Structure formats: C-alpha cells, structure tokens
Amino acid sequence: MTRIATLFALLVTLPQAIAHAEPDGEASLSWQLRPVTLGNFVRIDGAAAAFNDRNGNVDIAVASTLGASYQLSRAWASVLRLGLVGNNAPGAALDGSSFANPLLGATHVRRMGDYRLGVFAGATLPIGTGNSRTHAAAGTARPADRAMFDVDDVAGIAGVDVAYCKWGFTAQGEATIVQSVRVRGDEGERLATRAAVGVHLGYLVGWHIAVGGDLHYEDTLTAALGVRLQFRVGAHSWIRPGVALLRGFGERGLDAPLLNAHTTAVMVDLPMTF
C-alpha cells in the first residue's frame, strides 16, 4: 500500500515539477547560437539591416522570428520556429515580404555539474513564400535560421552544443549540419549539405545584466555583440530582453546573404522563460 501511495504521489507531482522546472539563470543566452537551457519559453527576435544593392541604392530589410519551446520532461523539449522577412526596396523597385518555412524539432539538454550538453534535431516544412529579393533579404535573420528561409527546400538539421557555466561566465561551442533537398523550383542545387560552427562568450554582471558576444561561421564569418537584461517575473519565470549589433564579413551584393556581406544589422531579442 505504501508503494502504491508513493507512486501515486510521484505521478501527481511530476507534471508540476516539469511544468515549473527552474530556468537556468546562470547561463548566458547567445545571439546566433541555440540556447543550452531547457524550459517552456517564447522568444521573439528581429534584425534590421541597411545595405547597398547592385546599383548602389540603399535597401532596408527586416527579418523576424518567433520561437516556442515546451518542456516534455527534465531533459527533452519540443521546438517550433516561424519566420517573416520584409524588404523595403529603394526607388521604384517593388517591396517584398515572405513567410519562412516552419521549423519543427526537439532538444535534449543535460547538465553535468558546470557543463551543459545540448543536442538538437529538426526539419523544415516547404510551405514558405517569397521571391529572389525576399530570399536575399532573409540574410538579416540569424544564421541559425538560414535553412528556414530556403523556402523551396526541405531541410534536416542536426546539431550539438557544449557550454561551461560558472561564476556568471559562459563559454559555449556549437556545431551544426544541414542537409537540404530542393522540392520546388528549378534553380539551385537539388541536394546540398552545409556545416556551421559557432562560439559564444558571456558574463553576468550581477543577476540582472549580461554582456556577450559570439562568432558564427558557415560560408563566411558573422559576429555579434550585445547586452541583455534579465528579470525574474513571479516564482518560476524569467524575461531577458537584449539588443545586439551583428556584423558580416564577406562579399558585397544582393545575391549574398546580407549578414555575410559587409553589413551591420541591429537585433532586438525578447526571450521569456516560464
């Protein structure tokens, strides 16, 4: 009878423990990499960049993404990401906007003392919209979301993150591989494999301010540097608004991803964990 009562108590309290798992307030959130924290969260971020088109005109592009995660257990969470990009073309050129392919996936995170290990797997669904101009403008999005804006492709994504967090300092490394298959249109490669790596360094100044920067390399290098505030809202929730500058180092031109060109973008990030 005692065992039955104990089992019943565990079944009653386990969903509550999962739903209200304490967010990892010791880890600094990166700008271009996946988080190594686990929990229920909603994250809205947008990046705006001004750049020169082929004719030297100033073009403005804004990419926004909405991410959500639901914690299934103490080690697993489901992930959903949606994206939208808009391009304010110069002169008489037509403006454009498009929806990205949704990304569905799952994350496994394990804490081992001062270390965090995260494994991610996901895929995009080829139901996005857009044209060549809005596809180029999608380069203002985070490099981690690039596969979402290849709207003619189905992409499988796998990655691993390792982070060290202690005394307010976070050092994180990431590796990702993307396998995409062209399912719509005739332009471009039918089958493509891409790999990317990234690093992040962050430091918590007290419990309410975090500064951090990261580097991401796929075809070329992208750097980000910013500051983030973090506040506890209620007993189990955090809000961590931040602003960062993103800079790409690569070839100029509309056909090149914008943040891989000599372009500076401003990113506003609003993650909420509960």
Q: What single-letter DSSP state applies at residue 131?
A: -
- Band the pLDDT of 5: cuts 50, 70, 90: very low
C-alpha count within 13 angstroms, C-beta hemisphere, residue 263: 31
**Cα separation values, 234 from 7, 60, 69, 177, 273, Å:** 30, 39, 19, 38, 11
Residue range 26-52, pLDDT digits in tens: 788 999 999 988 889 999 999 888 766
In terms of pLDDT, which residue wins out, 127 or 19?
Answer: 127
- Band the pLDDT of 76: cuts 50, 70, 90: very high
| Best CA proximity match to 96, nearest among 42, 136, 48, 37 | 136
Residue range 207-261, pLDDT digits in tens: 789 999 999 988 778 899 999 998 888 777 889 999 999 888 765 433 444 454 5
Whether 14 shows a pLDDT value over 90: the answer reads: no
Locate tokens 């005394």: which residue? 167
**Cα separation values, 69 from 43, 96, 98, 106, 113, Å:** 9, 29, 23, 9, 24
- How is residue 178 written in tokens? 């993307």
**0.85 exceeded by the pTM?**
no
pLDDT at 50: 74
Which of 7-11, 20-24, 90-94, 166-170 is the least confident region? 7-11
| Best CA proximity match to 25, nearest among 180, 237, 183 | 237
Which of 79-83, 107-111, 188-192, 236-240 is the least confident region? 188-192
C-alpha span between 255 and 203 (Å, rounded)? 36
Amino acid type, 166: K
- How is residue 202 written in tokens? 């962050």
C-alpha span between 135 and 153 (Å, rounded)? 12
C-alpha span between 151 and 46 (Å, rounded)? 19
- Mean pLDDT value of segment 56-73: 86
Topology of domain 2-273, CATH: Porin (2.40.160)
Which of 26-30, 161-165, 187-191, 242-246 is the least confident region? 187-191
For 261, phi then psi, to 5°, come to -105, 180
**How does the average pLDDT of the chain come out, rounded?**
80
